[in-house]
Structure 1
Amino acid sequence: MTEFQIRSYTPRDAAWVQAAHARHYWSVDGFDDTFGALVESILRDFDADHDPAREAGWIAVDDAANPVACIFCVAVDTQTAKLRMFLVTEAVRGCGLGFRLLQTCIGFAQAKGYKGMRLWTHESHVAACALYRRNGWRLVHSKPVHSFGQDLVEQEWEIHF
């Protein structure tokens, strides 16, 4: 059985994070190239401007040190953090790694003094939404959109500490 390690994100992980998101969401949801470009832009901004005292990213790696999952925590304001770019690759889903990453991110936000967190996702991400719900998040807004070449239902979730 593979033992996954969670380590801090570094800018050298950006190419993997962008490619993994683009590949996954193209194959699973049919997202077009605008999604990969969005992830690339978010990473570029994070690498250029994030506050390491209040923002972080994590990469989960397998026994061979290959990246298999990621999650990020960024500031919205002094009281609220935002969960971003959460991805667990298909090959390692169902082993509790998503839960571990989510707890890592939430624990970081709490330790840094945030009072709550927000996230943005789509209704079609059923497993992720179930994970959020099981861990105390609540759906606060939902609306139909056309994004990334698809008709989707965009969702906003939040949790308060």
Structure 2
Amino acid sequence: MDVRLREFGPADADWLVEAHGTHYAAEEGFDASFARLVRRIVDDFLASHDPGCERGWIAEADGTRLGCIFCVNAGEGAAKLRLFLLMPEARGQGLGRHLLQTCMGWARERGYTRMVLWTHESHRAACALYARTGWSCVSSRPVHSFGQDLVELHWEIAL
């Protein structure tokens, strides 16, 4: 599969929200509040991101979107990884690692000294990828979010 990474743009917004909402509803039973949160994040990014220090990527092959990842400013020298998603048909081929390394490398080049992210324990494949690439889980706590009882995890890595 010939996959390319390109910059996220306004034409990708509806796909990104739909892909997240559909995937997490099917895989984890998340309710519609998750898609609403993703929509808010995407709309805020489009309205006010600083292209000098914030960016989103879309992975695609033959015009089909296969995944996405975002880097946003978290303040105090930290970048925040957001909206990382890999479509099921694209898994197991190293694309997730490629997206993650691209995002982290871009953040490092922009002068960020560390990167943080928030996820859930149920995202086992993503958590395994973070651990394999040097991230550390720095805290966890039980939460009730998106209609589910979950364990929220906060990860970080020095860049």
CA distance in 2: counterparts of 1:130 and 1:19, whole angstroms: 25
Deviations 1:56-90 (A, max 9, x none): 0000001x211110000000114000000000011
* 3-state secondary structure, aligned to 2:5: strand
The corresponding residue for 1:56 is: 55
State the TM-score, normalized to the length of structure 1: 0.98
> How far, CA to CA, are the matches of 1:112 and 1:10 in structure 2?
20
The equivalent position to 2:63 in structure 1, one of 62, 65, 74, is 65
Alignment of 1:1-161 (within 5 A): 2-62=1-61, 64-161=62-159
Moved over 2 A (4+): none
Unaligned residue ranges in structure 2 (runs of 5+): none
Distance 1:113 1:65 in 2: 32
Identity percentage of aligned residues: 53
Runs of at least 5 residues in structure 1 that lack an aligned partner in the other structure: none
Deviation at 1:127, TM superposition (A): 0.5
Say which SS state the counterpart of residue 75 (structure 2) adopts: coil
Partner Cα separation in structure 2 for residue 88 and residue 56 of structure 1:
17
CA-CA distance at 1:11 after TM superposition? 1.1
Cα RMSD after superposing both structures: 0.6
**1:112: Cα distance to partner?**
0.2
AA aligned opposite 1:16 = W
